[in-house]
Amino acid sequence: MYSSAIRLNFRKLCKMAGAKLEAVPSVDIEEGVFKYVLIKVYGNDDSLNKNIVRGYADCQWHSDIYDRASESCKGLGLETECLGGGRIEHNPNLKLIKVYGYSQGFGKADHAETRRILLDKFPLYSIEISDEGY
């Protein structure tokens, strides 16, 4: 049986981890065509986590995107795991996002999960997914 002090400490840690996770935006992508990664972010305890989407046109490799996002999360005391990658075509004028392809280094991200996350940020967009292309 755990003491009440240990339970209270655990609840406090979970609350802090939850607040840190909330501070991490679910989506950070640019306009145009670029590589992206799907990342799992979590605290010390993997039971509190969320998936995020990151894509930057100035990054040549999927690993560059992951490294940038990972460093940002580590600054908040959070851990990360890359769940895969692909490409995104983001056209805000047409309110259209296309998610497709894969990462040679990380494998193919779950594009359906990526679409779900993107729809939260861009609810008025048409978001298409495909396993075709690189």
Annotated binding site: 35
Q: Which of the following is catalytic: 52, 55, 59, 62?
A: 62
Annotated binding site for substrate: 35
Residue 90 annotated among the catalytic residues of the structure: no
CB 57 within 8 A of CB 34: yes
Query: Quick one: tokens of 121?
Result: 């940020």
CA distances from 73 to 12, 32, 50, 82, 90 (A): 20, 25, 12, 12, 24
* CA quadruple 59, 61, 67, 70: dihedral sign: positive
The residues annotated as belonging to the active site are: 62
